[in-house]
């Protein structure tokens, strides 16, 4: 299911832009591609680069700043989270945005894919949405945090999702039933990355 270098080259190219600020970067699981989120003079977007540094493609389309991005484990999808309160899902095989996932009522601050294909998004609205990114529908709405969501991460087996927030907690959720299984209290500092 992984895209080959030839398949990536066949994706229609978008105009490369002058980077002003890079807000996040992440490698694909196989370390062959680097995904960056950037702020540019005329627009925000995401750029994909080979590990050598050679640019592959850029994508844009949100109505406000993009602050987070992630590759799917299979490297065929990427997700972007924006201050327009939406999550973009981009299909790298079809060279375009597949879905705009709506539902957050605040800036989307973090996104992550699970090993089995779920997509989680965290927001300043204090909620976490767990999506099916291939069909574009919501699986779970998790809303027990009392502060803005700052980070999230799936366990390697995709059974658990850990979320961190400005409420001084890390919550561990069961991805089979959407229930919070554990609350870890974090004192004297904010948890910004898991």
Q: How far apart are CA 63 and CA 44, in angstroms?
A: 9
Q: State pLDDT tens for residues 111-150.
A: 999 999 999 999 999 999 999 999 999 999 999 999 999 9
Task: Give pLDDT, residue 53.
Answer: 79
Task: Give pLDDT, residue 108.
Answer: 95
User: Quick check: 38 and 76 in contact, CB under 8 A?
Assistant: no
Give strand ranges (E) for the chain: 19-27, 33-40, 44-50, 55-59, 66-71, 77-82, 87-91, 96-101, 108-113, 119-123, 128-132, 137-142, 149-154, 160-165, 169-174, 180-185
Mean pLDDT of the chain: 83
Task: Give pLDDT, residue 58.
Answer: 74
Task: Give pLDDT, residue 20.
Answer: 59
Average pLDDT of 10-27? 59
Task: Give pLDDT, residue 40.
Answer: 57
Domains and CATH numbers, the chain: 5-154 (2.130.10.10)
Kind of pairing, strands 180-185 and 169-174? Answer: antiparallel
Task: Give pLDDT, residue 44.
Answer: 65
Task: Give pLDDT, residue 66.
Answer: 81
Name the nearest CA neighbour of 161 among 112, 101, 107.
112
Q: Is the pLDDT of residue 167 over 90?
A: yes
User: Quick check: 168 and 174 in contact, CB under 8 A?
Assistant: no
Q: Is the pLDDT of residue 161 over 90?
A: yes
Q: What pTM did the predictor assign?
A: 0.81
Q: Is the pLDDT of residue 38 over 70?
A: no
Q: What is the DSSP string of 51-89?
A: TTS-EEEEE---SS-EEEEEE-TTSSEEEEEETTS-EEE
Q: How far apart are CA 71 and CA 46, in angstroms?
A: 11
- Look at 130 and 9; give whichever has higher pLDDT: 130
Q: Is the pLDDT of residue 50 over 50?
A: yes
Q: State pLDDT tens for residues 69-112.
A: 899 998 889 899 989 999 999 888 776 667 899 999 999 999 99
- The encoded tokens of residue 194 equal 């898991």
The label of the residue with tokens 């680097």 reads: 34
């Amino acid at each position: 299911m992984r895209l080959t270098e030839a398949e990536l080259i066949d994706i229609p190219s978008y105009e490369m832009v002058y980077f002003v600020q890079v807000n996040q970067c992440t490698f694909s699981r196989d370390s062959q591609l680097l995904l960056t989120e950037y702020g540019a003079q005329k627009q925000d977007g995401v750029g994909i680069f080979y590990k050598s540094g050679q640019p592959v493609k850029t994508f844009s389309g949100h109505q406000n700043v993009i602050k987070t991005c992630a590759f799917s484990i299979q490297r065929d999808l990427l997700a972007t989270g924006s201050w327009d309160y939406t999550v973009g899902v981009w299909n790298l095989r079809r060279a375009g945005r597949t879905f705009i996932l709506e539902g957050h009522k605040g800036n989307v601050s973090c996104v992550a894919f699970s090993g089995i294909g779920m997509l989680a998004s965290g927001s300043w609205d204090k909620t976490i949405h767990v999506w099916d990114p291939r069909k574009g529908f919501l699986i779970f709405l998790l809303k027990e945090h009392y502060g803005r969501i700052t980070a999230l991460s799936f366990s390697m087996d995709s059974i658990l999702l850990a979320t961190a927030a400005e409420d001084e907690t890390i919550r561990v959720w069961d991805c089979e039933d959407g229930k919070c299984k554990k609350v870890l209290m974090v004192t004297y500092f904010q948890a910004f990355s898991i």
